Amino acid sequence: METMENMEPAEAVETPEVTAEPAEAAEAVETPEVTAEPAEAAEAPKAAEPAQPAETMEDYKEELEASFRKINVGDIISGTVIDVNEDEVTLDLKYYAPGVIKAADLSNDPGFKVLEDVKVGDVIEATVVRTDDGAGNIQLSKKEANEVLAWEKLKEYKEQETVLDVKVAGIVPSGVVAYVEGIRGFIPASQLALSYVDVDDTWLGRQLQVRVITVEESRKKLVMSAKVILREKAVEEHNHKISMMVPGTVMEGTVESLMPYGAFVDLGDGISGLVHISQISQKRIAKPSEVLSVGQKVKVKILNTNDNKVSLSMKALQEEMVDVDKTPEVREYTSGEKVSTSLGDLLKGIKLN
């Protein structure tokens, strides 16, 4: 009996109902709704701030190259202007030290002005004069670099027919002087305008558009022309005027020259047209001088303006006149008798009863 009594309490302890409650409570704690909120909040910042890529050696390529780069006296290097004042220009050389060009070492052009001709952001090529000017800067000279580089640029300007803006810096016999890339160039008087001009002091300081026509580095010879550009502009303007002319229009002009194949007629405003010999007259002629003379005023009709050339006709106008002449005429009625307004004439033939 005692054994059985002792066992009963033990069985009651092993399977009490309260043992299930902690398990259920544990399950409830494992999946509460509030546990999802911190997880969602933690994920939100990650989506808003994407991970930054890891830095590599490529990111520091320029800095590394600059640290290993060696600059020597005589090297021609390129830099970007970061400061300009009346005395000097400072360049960023992508180097641990900046470059400095004194105003006197910038150009041979006597009209050169640092503050007007050099701007922050300009890229300049210059020769290394000293690797340390005493203040930790690389001292440079653009003038020295020009002696090497400028002539190559001038050759490119000539080959590419580049239009250059220059200022007349001096007057010399038979022309003017202007500087390009720091090199002294010559513009002959015959190349200043469409026709020859007398050069005097009024040309000094004038702005001109020119093209390089001669480059000879061995002889330090640079020749430029404004005339070639002016001629191109004149041709362009002339062709525009022709393009505005309407075929069929009748104009008056002056015969300016006679050729075996026809006559050139000046229509004014710098425009001339050709009347081919076959378009001069309705009757057949052997040469234009049979019916035309230089200086004669004539009326012509525009046939076409193909290839910027004006073709004219006098014959077309004559044919139109013939067509007009062929219109029926109203014949004037006459009795062949003398017209009279006397009373006798009025009563003649009237019989009175």
> Domain spans of the chain?
61-148, 161-232, 245-325
pLDDT at 172: 93
pLDDT in tens, 52-90: 666 665 665 665 566 567 889 999 999 999 999 999 999
- What pLDDT is recorded for position 108? 86
With contact defined as beta carbons under 8 Å apart, do 300 and 256 qualify?
A: no
Whether the predicted pLDDT of 330 surpasses 50 = no
Residues 259-279 have pLDDT tens digits of 999 999 999 999 999 999 999
pLDDT band at 148, cuts 50/70/90? confident
**What is the C-alpha separation between 102 and 286, in angstroms, rounded?**
77
CATH superfamily of 61-148: Nucleic acid-binding proteins (2.40.50.140)
Tell the burial category of 52 from Cβ atoms under 10 Å away from its Cβ (0-12, 13-18, 19+).
exposed
Instruction: Indicate the class that CATH gives domain 245-325.
Output: mainly beta
The answer to whether the 61-148 and 245-325 domains have the same CATH topology is yes
Residue of 258 and 61 predicted with greater confidence: 258
Give the pLDDT of residue 111.
82
| CATH number for the domain formed by residue range(s) 161-232 | 2.40.50.140
Higher pLDDT, 4 or 309: 309
pLDDT score for 286: 93
What is the model's pLDDT at position 324?
53
What's the pLDDT score for residue 147? 80
**What is the distance between the alpha carbons of residues 315 and 125, in angstroms, rounded to a whole number?**
68
Backbone angles phi, psi at 234, to 5 degrees: -65, -40
- Number of residues that make up the chain: 353
- Lowest-confidence segment of 234-248, 281-295, 317-331 by average pLDDT: 317-331
Nearest-Å Rg of the Cα atoms of the chain is 49
Q: Per residue in 105-115, pLDDT tens?
A: 998 888 888 99
**The predicted structure's pLDDT at residue 196:** 85
Model pLDDT, residue 319: 81
pLDDT higher than threshold 90 for residue 119: yes
d(CA 46, CA 220): 68
**pLDDT for the residue numbered 109:** 85
Task: Inform me whether the pLDDT recorded for 309 exceeds 60.
Answer: yes
Look at residue 233 and tell me whether its pLDDT is greater than 80: yes
Does residue 341 register a pLDDT over 60? no
pLDDT for the residue numbered 69: 74
pLDDT (0 to 100) of residue 215: 96
Position 256 confidence tier, pLDDT thresholds 50, 70, 90: very high
Tell which wins on pLDDT, 79 or 27.
Answer: 79
Q: What is the mean pLDDT of residues 191-211?
A: 93
SS (H, E, C) 22-68: HHHHHHHHHCCHHHHHHHHHHHHHHHHCCCCCCCCHHHHHHHHHHHH
Give the whole-number percent of the chain exceeding pLDDT 90. 60
* Mean pLDDT (the chain, rounded): 81
What is the pLDDT, as a whole number, of residue 40? 46
- Residue 116: both structure tokens together: 């007007």
The residue-averaged pLDDT of 328-345 equals 48
Residue 35: per-residue pLDDT: 46
Q: Where is average pLDDT lowest: 98-102, 110-114, 152-156, 208-212?
A: 110-114
Find tokens 């004669």 and name the residue.
296
